[in-house]
Structure 1
Amino acid sequence: MTTATDPLVSTEWLAAHINDSNVKVLDASFKLPGVLPLPKDDYLAAHLPGAVFFDVDAVSDHSNPLPHMYPSAEQFGRDAGQLGISNADTVVLYDSGGWVAAPRAWWMFLAFGHSNVRILNGGLKKWRAEGRSVESGDVKPKPASFKASYDAKRVRSMQQLIANVESRAEQVVDARAAERFEGRAPEPRAGIRSGHIPGARNVPYNQLFDAATGTMKPLDELRAAFVNAGVKLDAPIVTSCGSGVSAGVLTLALYRLGITDTALYDGSWSEWGQEKGPTIATGPA
């Protein structure tokens, strides 16, 4: 991809532009429920200079009992404005370097009409490894005005995926670990069955980045991860995971391969896997 279209930016690029008035940096770190310290506490201890905390759970539909579901366009616009972001800004997202939530937040910005959004390749991990400066404490941004418009094509509902089990019009690619996908390991959320959506393929998201450096793998390795899992890169794709967060890593990797018209299943397994949910499958894909 060209620099103009690649959603990733380097630490060198961000270091050169971090003080630009129209560059807004957001820390979108996230952890599974019960994992301590909380992401916000990690942020308070150390974050990129001037970075504001993007809370995946806060920027969500609070009327929905499922975890961090997409909010309305009106709410997203309000929340983004409170984070100090205007429609004229370049948003740069990062997380701790474990690639969990920055891609989710990136896809949310795209889905709500803001195309000028990037992800820091390697996140905080690479930034600190290079000896670059960090700050502690909370950053209180000056509120801005952000108008959001929702692009429903980028997101899928459970009803759409139930219909897809019959039609197989779209490939479902699940980002969870193989043990969870195959139903051999319990889910981290209580009351959720083990297994996967019938017909889904499995590309564990941690296969797509280098754990040592936190950077995303080269394009040929990304392509091989999907092809080896039986994914047809020239056919429609929906990404899924445990709760619609790490699926964004697959979405990002596909986007970098030039496949920009995928969709993300927002409810993911925390919705599908409920006790009275739809039919599930177990075992390898």
Structure 2
Amino acid sequence: MTQTTKMEYSHPEVLVDTQWVEEHLNDPNIRIVEVDYDSLTNYHLGHIPGAILLEWKKDINHPLSRDILTAESYKNIIRKLCLDDDKSTAIILYGDFNNWFATFAFWVFKYYGYENLKLLNGGRKKWLDEDRPISKKTVAFSKGKFDLSESFKPISKIRVYVSDIRFSGKQKEVSD
């Protein structure tokens, strides 16, 4: 058996490293987004310079059903990030809890068809551990012109509903 010292990822193409992000802090073609469970304990204490805040409980998660946010809420987030319909701007997501909520946001953006997405490898913790620059300045952009077209449909193949997995009373074999 060959032992590997490098961690392998299923989809390394979605990751960016901290060095790359630091080199692109002033790049107008990227938006750095910190997704926090509790912004009072993280974003406002210091974040990657230029990062805008999305709060998982308020911005990404439906407040009543704890389900994915509505299309209208998604549209407002994209506008908050000052993005337009062309979707050419790269969104770099990172956050607390080992990127737990950033990866949920990644999935939400994918669900609504945004493809130019990356996750900061190592998230907030790695950025701080490497003593990279932080800022306490709250970032806001002018609103973008993004709109959902009338023909817009979420990418249903990445979401499964209970009715999709229920079987019709027949015993099914389950394997772990």
Identity %: 22
Q: Label 1:133 to 1:168 Cα distance change in 2 as closer, same or farther (>3 A).
A: farther
CA distance in 1, matches of 2:132, 2:157: 39
Query: Contact 2:30–2:92 (CA<8 Å) still a contact in 1?
Result: yes
2:29 to 11, 18, 22: 22
The equivalent residue for 1:80 is: 78
Give per-residue Cα distances to partners, 1:135-189, cap 9 Å, x unaligned: 11422222112345411111122322334996869xxxxxxxxxxxxxxxxxxxx
Give per-residue Cα distances to partners, 1:230-252, cap 9 Å, x unaligned: 4xxxxxxxxxxxxxxxxxxxxxx
Q: Could you say what secondary structure the match of 2:143 adopts?
A: coil
Amino acid at match of 2:62: D
The equivalent residue for 1:160 is: 164
Shift of 1:44: 0.7
The equivalent residue for 2:5 is: none
Q: Label 1:15 to 1:167 Cα distance change in 2 as closer, same or farther (>3 A).
A: farther
CA distance in 2, matches of 1:167, 1:27: 44
Query: Contact 2:33–2:51 (CA<8 Å) still a contact in 1?
Result: yes
Query: Contact 1:29–1:100 (CA<8 Å) still a contact in 2?
Result: no
Query: Contact 1:40–1:53 (CA<8 Å) still a contact in 2?
Result: no
Q: Label 1:21 to 1:161 Cα distance change in 2 as closer, same or farther (>3 A).
A: same
The equivalent residue for 1:102 is: 102
Give per-residue Cα distances to partners, 1:172-218, cap 9 Å, x unaligned: xxxxxxxxxxxxxxxxxxxxxxxxxxx5x7xxxxxxxxxxxxxxxxx
Aligned residues: 161
Structure 1 segment 135-150 matched on structure 2, within 5 A: 135-148=135-148, 149=152, 150=154
Task: Answer yes or no: is 1:13 the counterpart of 2:20.
Answer: yes
CA RMSD of aligned residues (A): 2.8
Structure 1 segment 156-235 matched on structure 2, within 5 A: 156-163=160-167, 199=174, 230=176
Shift of 1:104: 0.7
Query: Contact 1:28–1:101 (CA<8 Å) still a contact in 2?
Result: yes
Structure with higher RCO (Cα < 8 A, 6+ apart): 2
The equivalent residue for 1:239 is: none
Q: Label 1:167 to 1:137 Cα distance change in 2 as closer, same or farther (>3 A).
A: farther
CA distance in 2, matches of 1:117, 1:165: 41
Q: Label 1:73 to 1:66 Cα distance change in 2 as closer, same or farther (>3 A).
A: closer
Q: Could you say what secondary structure the match of 1:27 adopts?
A: strand
Shift of 1:72: 2.8
Query: Contact 2:31–2:81 (CA<8 Å) still a contact in 1?
Result: no
The equivalent residue for 1:128 is: 128
CA distance in 2, matches of 1:21, 1:165: 55
Amino acid at match of 1:84: C
